[in-house]
Structure 1
Amino acid sequence: MSRPSALTTHVLDTAAGRPAQGVAVELWRMEPAPECVARAVTNGDGRTDAPLLAPDNFRPGRYELRFAIGVYFGLPQPRFLEVVALPVGLAEGQGHYHVPLLCSPWSFSTYRGS
């Protein structure tokens, strides 16, 4: 049975051990030509207030999530990490895609959550 697809995210500040509030997030559709399809800022829980792709506007394809963590951490220039870009492939009927970003000023990791 095919499940409606959607995309959400959240950001965790692993250096401080808390959700990362105020991180600017962009979602880019990479095909046929790169196009920004959503912008949001994380709330007090480190999440965006709405899905970046809701089921009603979901299109399968190649995307890139861009997180402005350099500004969030406020480190002097040049920053080791400025924008973390995560390329993701999204397929129809695969249900909810949740992509958390765990980050510090010096590192990041991610996974497909639920």
Structure 2
Amino acid sequence: MGKLSTHVLDITQGKPGAGVQIALYAVHAAGKTLLKNVVTNADGRCDAPLLQGDEMVAGEYELIFSAGDYFAAQGVDVPTPRFVDRVTLAFGIAEPDQNYHVPLVVSPWAYSTYRGS
């Protein structure tokens, strides 16, 4: 059985992004459906997989990370409006029996991701 997971790495401090709010959406032709709202733990990870077992369905998804709020809570002085605020990672799950790990590496000025397992 496959699963979907994520984590956040704050590259400005070289540490996990603890306390980042994340929303997971399923994307359909008619719009988006909110599946989960979670907050990262002290290790920058979610306490449980975002999807697993029967929840893993082939399709399009979005993870929306509240990175701007995270950096504001860290006391980082960023301009208004924030350059990096809500980071949306749009991705597809083609093989639901596999593991999909979709991390966010982020600073107030840049971000990246990759597909891990």
Matched, 1:77 2:75: no
Matched, 1:16 2:13: yes
- Secondary structure of the corresponding residue to residue 73 of structure 1: helix
Q: What is the Cα-based RMSD across aligned positions, in Å?
A: 1.2
Q: What do residues 26-62 of structure 1 show as CA deviations (whole Å, max 9, x unaligned)? A: 1110114211101100000000111111123111100
Taking structure 1 as the reference length, the TM-score comes to 0.91
Structure 1 residue ranges, 4+ long, deviating more than 4 angstroms after superposition: none
Taking structure 2 as the reference length, the TM-score comes to 0.89
In the alignment, which residue of structure 2 is the partner of 1:110? 113
Judge conservation of contact 1:12–1:19 (CA < 8 Å) in 2.
Answer: yes
CA distance 1:68–1:93, shift in 2 (3 Å): closer
Q: What do residues 45-102 of structure 1 show as CA deviations (whole Å, max 9, x unaligned)? A: 0001111111231111000110000000013521101100011000234511001100
Measured in 2, the distance between the counterparts of 1:43 and 1:76 equals 27
Query: 1:41 aligned to 10, 28, 39, which one?
Result: 39
Measured in 1, the distance between the counterparts of 2:55 and 2:96 equals 13
In the alignment, which residue of structure 1 is the partner of 2:52? 54
Measured in 2, the distance between the counterparts of 1:92 and 1:59 equals 8
Return 5+ residue gaps in structure 2 as ranges: 73-77
Matched, 1:101 2:68: no
- Secondary structure of the corresponding residue to residue 71 of structure 1: helix
Fraction of identical pairs, as percent: 49
Judge conservation of contact 2:57–2:96 (CA < 8 Å) in 1.
Answer: no
- Secondary structure of the corresponding residue to residue 95 of structure 1: coil
- Secondary structure of the corresponding residue to residue 70 of structure 2: helix
Judge conservation of contact 1:65–1:86 (CA < 8 Å) in 2.
Answer: yes
How many residues are aligned here? 111
Return 5+ residue gaps in structure 1 as ranges: none
